[in-house]
Amino acid sequence: MADIKVTDIKRGLGEFVPKPDKAASFAALKETLKKAGYTLASADITVSGTLVRESDKWMIEASSSKQRFALEGTDADKLLQGVEAGSRIEVSGDWQTVGRDAASREVIQLRSAKQLAAVLIKPGTYETKQGRTTLEDIQISLGGGGNESGLYFSSIRTTSPGLTVYKGGAIMPRYFYTRQHLGNLKVDRQALRVGVTYTPTPTLQLEAEIPYQHTSFADGSRNGSGSGFGNLTLWGKYRFYRTLETWGDKQAAIRFGMELPTGKKDAPGDTSTGLPEFVRQQLSPINGGLAFHSDLSYSQARHRFIYGGNIEATLRGERDGFRMGHEIRVNTDLEYVLLPRKYQSPGHELFVSLETSYSYRNRGRLGGRTVAGSSANEFYVAPGLQFTATPRFVIEASFQVPVVRNVGPLALRTDKNLLVGIRYLY
């Protein structure tokens, strides 16, 4: 994949030059691209080499690899008329692998052929305009791109069904600033969440995320702060659906996660703060103990627009008698490729996005009892920007604000949330 250069991302075109001393296979190239998330629609190949005649068949032999390509097509005899076997030629045409396994052969449906001037330097060595090394230049036409290679796109807050890089992954440090309140109580949270993904197959992605949070609060004459790690969450994502087309991509995935009770459970301050115990526990870096997550996501790209969404359910367990309520969340994402206006190759894209989030959380528990007034029903919007500095390095920012907040009297209310992060694909 590192040897394939995307030349026109809008039309899904790329170029590939194999190693001159190695045999090339259309079927192998197609399989490699499939594993990376592409569909190979067709390939035009240009080969310079020696014209060979076998029985009534014309072939071209690449001088370095000694690989032979059969020359076929309705106009093959006409295009090769007057060219003698043993001549140096350059041919172009549609490339295919015919047959399977040991019976397979590489075939070029001939579109053009020209004889090359050659000068004998010493027996067996020829020099042409292309130099002494024979190259097979292949113009590949892809059935579409994806976020595994070439154009990178992924929602900022909404779960994406994409799998980043096949046999690779992404490192994603993200900074969050959140302002909350409850009556006179003001709460500021600053969190650094570091996520790591790895994609061992074209359909499976493994993920892990660990947060570190600093919380400060003030309520009139009382104030306090505290820091600590939150719970470690492990994810497994399976992409069960994907279709590709020129300048378009549809995909869907299901994801399961387990949140481990590894975070700091102690809340900042103490009982002398005068805060209700359930409110004070919300200042800790965790929402409870062992939790299970399930997530279903879908996205579609069409020309310069990308849209998608996900639905996530979370079942939380208690830790030392505390947990927030079980939760269901629905997110949507709409993106537009603002820049560049003329698209040729991946990199330096500027995406503008608008994401929405609706969540319902039922009542939490404290000391083995359900806490009345701890449920929440909220809807948020979040405009954002995402810039691909390179196809492997992404910078993003998103600012989330509430539109509807129907929150119980013991649940903190979120006023704003700022997210700034980077993604490095390895």
Q: What's residue 271's pLDDT?
A: 67
pLDDT at 52 over 80: yes
pLDDT digits (tens, 9 = 90+) for 55-103: 888 999 987 788 899 999 888 888 888 888 888 888 999 999 998 887 8
Against a cut of 0.95, is the pTM above it? no
Instruction: List, edge to edge, every strand of the sheet that includes 369-370.
Output: 322-323, 365-366, 369-370
Do residues 135 and 48 lie in contact, with contact meaning Cβ atoms separated by under 8 Å?
Answer: yes
How far apart are alpha carbons 260 and 313 in whole angstroms? 16
pLDDT digits (tens, 9 = 90+) for 117-137: 644 333 333 333 333 223 345
pLDDT at 186 over 50: yes
Do residues 333 and 353 lie in contact, with contact meaning Cβ atoms separated by under 8 Å?
Answer: yes
Give me 193's structure tokens: 């969440």
Q: What's residue 260's pLDDT?
A: 98
Q: Give the pLDDT band of residue 245 (cuts 50, 70, 90).
A: low
pLDDT digits (tens, 9 = 90+) for 25-37: 888 888 887 776 6
Q: What's residue 120's pLDDT?
A: 37
Residue 37 burial (CB count, 10 A): 28
What residues form DSSP beta bridges with 407? 376
The mean-pLDDT minimum among 171-175, 228-232, 299-303, 326-330 falls in: 299-303
Q: What's residue 150's pLDDT?
A: 38
Q: What's residue 249's pLDDT?
A: 77
The mean-pLDDT minimum among 20-29, 321-330, 368-377 falls in: 20-29
